Structure 1
Amino acid sequence: MKTDSCETIAAISTAIGEGGIGIVRISGPRAFEIAEKIFKPRIKKSLFEFKNRTLYLGDIVDSNDEIIDEVLLAIFKAPHTYTREDMVEINCHGGLVAQKRILALVLDNGARLAEPGEFTKRAFLNGRIDLSQAEAVIDIIRAKTDRALAVANRRLTGEFSEKISKIRSNLLNVIAHIEANIDFPEDDIPEAEPEYISQEINNVLKMVEDLLRSAGSGRILREGLSTLILGNTNVGKSSLLNALLQEERAIVTDIPGTTRDIIEEYIDIQGIPIKIIDTAGIRQTTDEVEKIGINRAMKHLQEAELVLLMIDVSRKLTDDDKRLIELVGDKTTITVINKVDLPVAVDEYEIKKLVPEAKIVKVSALKQEGIDELKTVIYDTITEKMGFTDEGLIVASERQRRILEESREFLKSALCAMAEGVPIEMVEIDIRDAWEKLGEITGDTVSEDIINTIFQKFCIGK
């Protein structure tokens, strides 16, 4: 599928702000022409004579020949470029003013400001990557750990796309086998035996279900595991957050109710991104602001995938502590016994009776003792109890998971129809629906609206 657009687009492709280098990117049929108008190279040579993929020193100048910035410029000739169009990259100084002035000049000379993700969208429309690979690009940009980056890079190479193509190819063979029997019954073509059709559908169904089992792991790598630090006031929640982050992120005082709002930060535990959420202490209070913080904490408790239930071992369990344990319910929980450096006032056996299913870790958050053990227990809980793995192929996006689930239902429907003796041409409808649905993952059978929605999630300049 080719893009119908003949427009040349441009955008700042580096993060906005001060930095060593800023890059203004141009792509489209007039990219070289526009760059030629505003770039004065130090060598006496036309831009159209430049070597491909080679940096040239020069100045960006405006219509009055005023120098805007000294830059390095490179041209990239189609079709061997990111977008498969002619491209120019202007490497200027990283100041915001210089980048904006250069971009403005490019736009004044005939380019259009690129939409979010439009460079990658053109790479897709021009056939350089498929839709699954395009989604991998944004996951690479947003990767929170090395492990998440490695998984995204595997998808960018096309490994996941190849698996989907194989599944669709198997379905297409079944469809062709059925249609040959329908269209040419008088020819010497082997009959579409129900056993063969059922076996092939079951084989494909297994491949789809294998991929779906990785969807939870893919979501964790992409978004991070939502992990809530929950406890009474002054049990050391903010101290634990600081210890896990290895920085003073939250205010720590002896005054109850210091934390009023939600604090969210990411930590990396053996390559798994963990979204740690510090909340207000849960207790009975008349303070209206603190009540708001407690209500927000309760909302996050409902959404949390893992709870770090903190108990202050230096004071006896209160009614508020016991109420919290009841609120946690059947959530995956790790009981963190804090302040082990102080005299013990509560029996560990009493805690085990209240939270029998939870692993117990003893720490001193303030002195950063037991933190490494806690991280190990968090990792073991995620991999053992929650079934996290990054082995094999990972279903990365919610969109891909939904498509696979819908395809699975079509395949199950086909199997049911086969078992009930439904005419084979009717069974073929479900098989074809599964084949077409799976094509949405790679973009072979996807609508323009879905394509636009996906690329709107990108930043401008990518």
Structure 2
Amino acid sequence: MEALSDSIAAIATAWGEAGVAIVRLSGPDAVPLARTTLRFGPNGFPPPREMRLASLLDDAESPIDQVLVVHFAAPRSYTGEDVVEIHTHGGTLVAQLCLEALIRRGARLAEPGEFTRRAFLNGRIDLSQSEGVLGIIRSRSAEALRAAARTLSGELSEFVREVREELLELQGSLEAGLDFPEGEAPFLDEASLRDAAATLKLTLQDLLDRCSLGLLLREGIRVVLSGRPNVGKSSLLNALLKQSRAIVTALPGTTRDVIEEAITYRGVPIRLVDTAGLRTPVDEIEASGIERTRRELKQADICLWLLDCSVPLDGEDLEYLRSLSVREHIVLLNKADKGHAVTEDDIREIVPESSVISLSAKTGEGLELLKEEILAIATGNGSLDAGLNVTARQLGEIRQALNAMAEAEAALLDGMGQDVVAGLLGGARNALERLLGIACDDALLDSVFSRFCVGK
């Protein structure tokens, strides 16, 4: 891990005109640097957690702004170091001049996420909580914000630490039995070991479900609108957005490119992707659009396959319907206001497991039902209140731990040695330790904190 012997500074507020701008300073020289950059009144530099008025000075020692200064003394600060925040008047110039003055006097410009990185390195928060900070910053809905707050408060960390301790204890018992002579530290009873492994696997599966839901709240549900030309994909996009975002004409093949927009429904972002209609292309431009459609379908969380229910199905409709089992999907019978040449029962005879909804993008019939069904499929009908806002990295570590536990359970059922099981338990534990930051290196930290803004 890197040394923390220098002091860093950055503007912590967004760029542009505002009522207040905040310049943040952290490190062993934070207080001396602030003292030489600012002029305080007769009461001097503020004691910890008390805000005082000061003058920001230019190179000629002339005041250029009246600022408020607050000091957070180590270790009771965000970073665990001495932190000074200088609250200037908002604007693009004064905060920048304050930052430049601090840098001239010996501070270093902070890297993205470096304040939070120092909080982690100084033991103020663990790595999962650090990523919870980013979750709060990037939340796009109230539900996502609440899920991120649960992660930042340590709910995820506490859960993961408990599972890690159980893994450590079970692995230790197994390895003790392997290391010591027979009779001194006997092997665990096979039935008890199977029960313990099964319980740990179920616990990790529950955690994975909660975190998958949290990632959904954070990133949104990617929903791709697909189907033949002129079935109403763009009209449906406009109806869901409640605005005219896509061009709608009676001419088939109007949409040639991918259009992406987002709505929020019951606190969950839904990322709607309108695509070119699937058919034999009439020119090179349309062929390119159809290829993009196929790529989007592979990346979709849910595919909406639209049919014009006012006309009978043809061979291409039937061919696509029979391929829908490979992905999460909803079959939409659009243009229901024109009558039904194709019914929901007709579709269920072809694809019995499909969710089928009749709607009209023109009148709005069925739109609320569609949004409810999207949410139900994406969340598995789970409670949004249980979600934990995580990153793809964190979700990957939990999935790796779960896979290791599944392999351990299978090894026990296959009668493999306890040494093999102990190794798999160690693999699960290592994944959870990487999630918490107990086992990490600078490359991992660089990857995590590079996604933060400067000043956080």
Q: Tell me which interval the TM-score lies in, with the shorter structure as reference length.
A: 0.7 to 0.9
State the Cα distance separating 1:251 from its structure 2 match.
Answer: 3.5
Match of 2:284 in 1: 288
Match of 2:455 in 1: 461
Q: Deviations over 1:386-444 (max 9, x none)?
A: 46554656483333333334434544555566677777567544444443332112111
TM-score, normalising length: structure 1: 0.85
What are the residue-to-residue correspondences of 1:10-409 with 2, within 5 Å?
10-41=9-40, 43-47=41-45, 50-178=46-174, 191-195=186-190, 196-313=192-309, 321=317, 325=321, 328=324, 330-341=326-337, 343-344=338-339, 346-348=341-343, 353=349, 356-383=352-379, 386=380, 388-390=382-384, 392=386, 394=388, 396-409=390-403
Unaligned runs of at least 5 residues, structure 1? none
Distance in 2 between residues matched to 1:280 and 1:358, nearest whole Å: 23
Give the 3 Å change call, closer, same or farther, for CA 272–63 of structure 1 in structure 2.
same
State the Cα distance separating 1:83 from its structure 2 match.
Answer: 0.5
**Secondary structure at the residue paired with 1:29?**
coil
Q: Deviations over 1:358-410 (max 9, x none)?
A: 33333332444432232223223334xx4655465648333333333443454
Give the 3 Å change call, closer, same or farther, for CA 210–91 of structure 1 in structure 2.
same
**Secondary structure at the residue paired with 1:267?**
strand
Distance in 2 between residues matched to 1:313 and 1:420, nearest whole Å: 53
Identity of aligned residues (%): 38
**Secondary structure at the residue paired with 2:130?**
helix
**Secondary structure at the residue paired with 1:63?**
coil
Give the 3 Å change call, closer, same or farther, for CA 18–289 of structure 1 in structure 2.
farther
State the Cα distance separating 1:136 from its structure 2 match.
Answer: 1.4
Distance in 1 between residues matched to 2:414 and 2:348, nearest whole Å: 53
The question of whether the paired residues in 2 share the 8 Å contact of 1:282 and 1:320 is answered with: no
Q: Deviations over 1:119-163 (max 9, x none)?
A: 111111000111111121112222232222222211211122122
TM-score, normalising length: structure 2: 0.86
Match of 1:440 in 2: 434
Q: Which deviates more from structure 2 when the two are superposed, residues 274-283 or residues 230-239?
A: 230-239
Q: Deviations over 1:210-267 (max 9, x none)?
A: 3234453233223222101113334332232222223333344445444332222222
Q: Which deviates more from structure 2 when the two are superposed, residues 307-316 or residues 70-79?
A: 307-316
Q: Which residue type is aligned with residue 189 of structure 2?
A: P
Give the 3 Å change call, closer, same or farther, for CA 248–103 of structure 1 in structure 2.
farther
**Secondary structure at the residue paired with 1:152?**
helix
Q: Which deviates more from structure 2 when the two are superposed, residues 79-88 or residues 409-418?
A: 409-418
The question of whether the paired residues in 1 share the 8 Å contact of 2:134 and 2:452 is answered with: yes
The question of whether the paired residues in 2 share the 8 Å contact of 1:22 and 1:95 is answered with: yes
The question of whether the paired residues in 2 share the 8 Å contact of 1:239 and 1:365 is answered with: yes
Q: Which residue type is aligned with residue 73 of structure 1?
A: V
Distance in 1 between residues matched to 2:356 and 2:177, nearest whole Å: 64
State the Cα distance separating 1:320 from its structure 2 match.
Answer: 5.9
**Secondary structure at the residue paired with 1:96?**
coil
State the Cα distance separating 1:63 from its structure 2 match.
Answer: 0.7
Give the 3 Å change call, closer, same or farther, for CA 15–356 of structure 1 in structure 2.
farther
Give the 3 Å change call, closer, same or farther, for CA 293–184 of structure 1 in structure 2.
closer
Distance in 2 between residues matched to 1:183 and 1:327, nearest whole Å: 54
Distance in 2 between residues matched to 1:442 and 1:264, nearest whole Å: 35
Distance in 2 between residues matched to 1:336 and 1:216, nearest whole Å: 26
Distance in 2 between residues matched to 1:237 and 1:96, nearest whole Å: 44
The question of whether the paired residues in 2 share the 8 Å contact of 1:35 and 1:106 is answered with: yes
Give the 3 Å change call, closer, same or farther, for CA 55–410 of structure 1 in structure 2.
same
Distance in 2 between residues matched to 1:413 and 1:318, nearest whole Å: 47
Distance in 2 between residues matched to 1:323 and 1:454, nearest whole Å: 44
**Secondary structure at the residue paired with 2:390?**
coil
State the Cα distance separating 1:3 from its structure 2 match.
Answer: 5.8
1:5 equivalenced with 2:37 (yes/no): no
Q: Deviations over 1:153-191 (max 9, x none)?
A: 1121112212222222223333444565667769x9663
Give the 3 Å change call, closer, same or farther, for CA 289–98 of structure 1 in structure 2.
farther
Q: Which deviates more from structure 2 when the two are superposed, residues 27-36 or residues 348-357?
A: 348-357
State the Cα distance separating 1:87 from its structure 2 match.
Answer: 1.1
Q: Which residue type is aligned with residue 286 of structure 1?
A: V
Q: Deviations over 1:48-69 (max 9, x none)?
A: xx13233334443321245544
Give the 3 Å change call, closer, same or farther, for CA 249–27 of structure 1 in structure 2.
farther
Distance in 1 between residues matched to 2:358 and 2:409, nearest whole Å: 53
Q: Which residue type is aligned with residue 201 of structure 2?
A: L
Q: Which deviates more from structure 2 when the two are superposed, residues 354-363 or residues 78-87?
A: 354-363
Q: Which deviates more from structure 2 when the two are superposed, residues 371-380 or residues 358-367?
A: 358-367
Q: Which residue type is aligned with residue 193 of structure 1?
A: L
The question of whether the paired residues in 1 share the 8 Å contact of 2:212 and 2:395 is answered with: no
Distance in 1 between residues matched to 2:394 and 2:210, nearest whole Å: 11
**Secondary structure at the residue paired with 1:53?**
coil
The question of whether the paired residues in 1 share the 8 Å contact of 2:150 and 2:388 is answered with: no
Distance in 2 between residues matched to 1:311 and 1:95, nearest whole Å: 53
Give the 3 Å change call, closer, same or farther, for CA 378–203 of structure 1 in structure 2.
closer
